[in-house]
Amino acid sequence: MEQVVHHDITILFVEDNDIIRHLYNRLISIRVREIYVASDGNEGLEFYRKYKPDLVITDISMPNMDGLTMIKLMKEIEPDLKVIVMSAYSIKEYFLMAIDLGVTGYLIKPVDAKKLNALIDDQANYILLKRESAEKEQKRRQAEEQVRKSLIEKDILLKEVHHRVKNNMQIISSILKMQERLISDPGLKSVLQESQNRIRSMALVHEDLYRNESFSDIKFSNYAKSLSNNLLRSYSDQQGKIRFVYEIEDVSLPLDVGIPCGLILNELISNAFKYAFEGRDEGTIRIGLALADDGKFHFEISDDGIGIDRTFNIENAKSMGLKIVNKLVQQIDGTIESDLSHGTRFIIKF
């Protein structure tokens, strides 16, 4: 006895002969999830539009609308529709028309039930495989969409974090500014101003990250220009006297390198403003960053000021600012050199 294979598909069976229609209804219904039975092409087309079955099995010669016309109209709705044709006539034109319409099986009546079942099995396997593939693709797209939405939410959250960090740092800087106004001691005022500048240099990073598409690195040329201009405003008595020259390659630095480089820049520019141009009407500060042939970044800050003692060694420096610079250079696994032949020039390699 043949083992009945049940397929999770739906079939539309179209046949104008009552006996054949009822017979195959019983034979096919036990093999599939659902079968819809129509008595002619018009009813078959109506059922197809209503139920969208996975597979159509149809006679050709029927009243009102023949099977081939019905198939053509169905194919206009679903070009990949799977169709098995049954005909009592082995007419060549019918066969060729069926091929042109893309039918997947052609059986001559009286139809052998085993052959029909075999065709149903083949088409069911194809339909189920295609359905499984479509479901996997849909799940993949849903997963991708979920990841995309998660990334958007993450970006929004990171933007908000950077925005709030920047705002909090500006509040701290403003508090220090208020404190500075209440103090008459020039030394303490200078300390508070330097602290404000350090906080602003870090706040600028978060401001740039808030505005940029990337949250993992910063474009150093923009950062260096914003930082140096902020410092110029801090030392307002030297505005117009000091100009900046930038020789910075178009590079982006990760946060764990960009922030220390910004703080180094803050300290060395501040030192230049305070000491390099004493008694002078004008001066130039140069800032450079380039990837050298040795595979390292060469970060240079120089001025054409009065210079410092030729015996200077940054490792033995006593000022807070230069001690901070030395520690920050170590933090980025770099080295620092100084050239005191013309003004002051620091070269940091990392």
Q: What is the mean pLDDT of residues 28-45?
A: 94
Give Cβ neighbours of residue 123 (< 8 Å, ≥ 6 apart): 55, 82, 84, 104, 105
The tokens of 139 are what? 């799940």
pLDDT tens for each residue of 166-191: 777 778 878 887 888 888 888 888 77
User: What are the extents of the domains in the chain?
Assistant: 7-111, 143-215, 216-350
pLDDT of residue 174: 82
Q: What is the mean pLDDT of residues 9-14?
A: 95
- Cα 128 to Cα 8, 131, 132: the distances in Å are 8, 5, 6
* Phi, psi dihedrals of residue 117, rounded to the nearest 5°: -60, -40
Q: What is the mean pLDDT of residues 53-74?
A: 93
Q: Is the pLDDT of residue 42 over 90?
A: yes
Residue 112's identity, in one-letter code, is: D
Q: Note the CATH architecture for domain 7-111.
A: 3-Layer(aba) Sandwich (3.40)
pLDDT of residue 8: 93
pLDDT of residue 288: 95
- What is the pLDDT confidence band of residue 226, given thresholds at 50, 70 and 90? confident
Residue 90's identity, in one-letter code, is: S
pLDDT of residue 107: 86
pLDDT of residue 210: 60
Distance of CA 271 to the CA centre of its chain: 42
pLDDT tens for each residue of 198-223: 887 777 777 766 666 665 678 888 88
- Percentage of the chain lying above the pLDDT 90 cut: 37
The more confident residue out of 153 and 287 is 287
Q: Is the pLDDT of residue 46 over 90?
A: yes
Q: Is the pLDDT of residue 19 over 80?
A: yes
Q: Is 218 exposed, middle or buried (0-12, 13-18, 19+ CB in 10 A)?
A: buried
Answer positive or negative: Cα dihedral of 231, 235, 236, 242.
negative
Distance of CA 152 to the CA centre of its chain: 8
Q: Which CATH code for domain 216-350? A: 3.30.565.10
pLDDT of residue 209: 64
State how far the Cα of 84 lies from the Cα of 77, in Å rounded to an integer: 17
DSSP output for 29-95: HTTEEEEEEESSHHHHHHHHHHH--SEEEEESS-SSS-HHHHHHHHHHH-TT-EEEEEES---HHHH
- What is the pLDDT confidence band of residue 56, given thresholds at 50, 70 and 90? very high
Q: What is the mean pLDDT of residues 74-91?
A: 88
pTM of the complete model: 0.55
pLDDT of residue 162: 64
* Phi, psi dihedrals of residue 261, rounded to the nearest 5°: -65, -40
Q: What is the mean pLDDT of residues 42-63?
A: 94
- What is the pLDDT confidence band of residue 1, given thresholds at 50, 70 and 90? very low
Give Cβ neighbours of residue 85 (< 8 Å, ≥ 6 apart): 58, 59, 60, 67, 68, 71, 98, 103, 105, 106, 107
Q: Is 110 exposed, middle or buried (0-12, 13-18, 19+ CB in 10 A)?
A: exposed
pLDDT tens for each residue of 125-174: 999 999 999 899 999 999 998 888 887 777 676 667 667 777 777 788 78
Q: Is the pLDDT of residue 2 over 60?
A: no
Q: What is the mean pLDDT of residues 88-104?
A: 82
Q: What is the mean pLDDT of residues 321-340?
A: 90
